[in-house]
Amino acid sequence: MNAATIALGIALLGAAGNSQSSVDIAKGIAAGQARLLKAPGGLGIEYDIRVEQAANGPIAFQNAKGAIRIKWPKLYSRFETTFRSGRRTVREATYDFEKKHSVALNSKRSAVISPFRSAWTANYLYPLRLCYFQQADQYYFEGAQEKSDVWLPAAIERNPYEVRQTDAIDGAACQLLERPGIDSLWIAPGFGYMVLKREITFGAGQPLRERTTNRQFRQVVPGGWLPATQQQEHFDLKSGRATHTFHVEIQNITVGSVSDESLVVVIPDGVQEIHDQFRNVMARNPRGDRPFTSALAESRLELTGQRVAIWRSVRNWSIVAALLGVVVIVLARRQARQRAA
């Protein structure tokens, strides 16, 4: 973090006021997230991630590359790695925050279309997850109250945080919020209310569970900042030792040039299976058999948003037809009783 960036952060903090309430800070966090996620023309992030752990550590990969593209309300994620088993994997997924459906592709082996959010569009948002964006929660719904004690700003809105003091991390001015014995947050108003550091315990009076540090912030949109480097350490409850550490480096950030085409997961002809969770149908074998060909065609319609509308239309008309059928049966029985009388 260079001197000019630090000076700018300190100046912006001074303009915002040296002491803010937790309510004001929560609002600032939400506004800072919105500036990034709803940037005109979209936001693109490319990153590398390295996992530091013992040979038998809990994370199944060591190095990976990822990409995030957001053009609200659409989100695209890509994650490429070699797992411990030796399998090379590329996972792509999209999610629409308004339509609430996903398309996911696993290395041309399998594809899933679903009426809910794919976990890949949440779990692989490492740069946003380490800044605790609540939109990185798989169960986040815009407009609904976020029920989380981790994601921000929901955790601050739901719990009694105390604004302890004005503090500094790496020379950058920030404010310390605490839930004593549970959570400590160092928030930088001058950097779009981003998290500079956070420490979360296993519970009141319990040892440290995780420590996250974000550094080298840059302003990517007016009032919207992102770090260049991130580190998140995880600790064992009994021993207190670090079990694994994520090291994230953001390699490239683009703003305003995210195309609609780059937000689409293309399901190729050679995919081995498709799981259509709208209808709970699984189709296997890419040899042109009718069920698979039909599923592939419908999944491609799903990519354009047409299939959902078609299915809902068919479903609605089916309901109407069923109700009309019931009415016809009731009237026919009534007429039959009247004739019998």
pLDDT for 9: 46
pLDDT higher than threshold 70 for residue 252:
yes
Neighbours of 17 (CB within 10 A): 11
DSSP conformation letters of 19-69: ---HHHHHHHHHHHHHHHHT-TT-EEEEEEEEEEE-TT-S-SEEEEEEEEE
Q: Distance between CA 213 and CA 200 in Å, rounded?
A: 12
| Per-residue pLDDT tens digits for 260-286 | 999 999 888 778 888 888 878 787 765
pLDDT for 303: 55
Q: Which residue reads 């498709």 in tokens?
A: 274
Q: Distance between CA 20 and CA 13 in Å, rounded?
A: 10
Mean pLDDT of all residues in 214-218? 95
If one compares 288 and 103, the residue with the highest pLDDT of the two is 103
Helices 306-340 and 290-303, packing angle to 10 deg: 110
pLDDT for 260: 95
pTM: 0.80
Which of 61-65, 265-269, 309-313 reaches the highest mean pLDDT? Answer: 61-65
pLDDT for 309: 44
Q: Distance between CA 172 and CA 188 in Å, rounded?
A: 7
Neighbours of 3 (CB within 10 A): 8
pLDDT for 175: 93
pLDDT higher than threshold 70 for residue 37:
yes
Mean pLDDT of all residues in 309-318? 51
pLDDT higher than threshold 90 for residue 3:
no
To the nearest 10°, report the CA torsion of 253, 257, 261, 262.
Answer: 0
Average pLDDT value over all residues in the chain: 85
CA-based nearest residue to 177, from 7, 8, 29: 29
Whether residue 124 contacts residue 66, with contact meaning beta carbons closer than 8 Å, is answered with: yes
Task: Kindly indicate the confidence band of residue 320, based on its pLDDT and cuts at 50, 70 and 90.
Answer: low
Task: Kindly indicate the confidence band of residue 10, based on its pLDDT and cuts at 50, 70 and 90.
Answer: very low
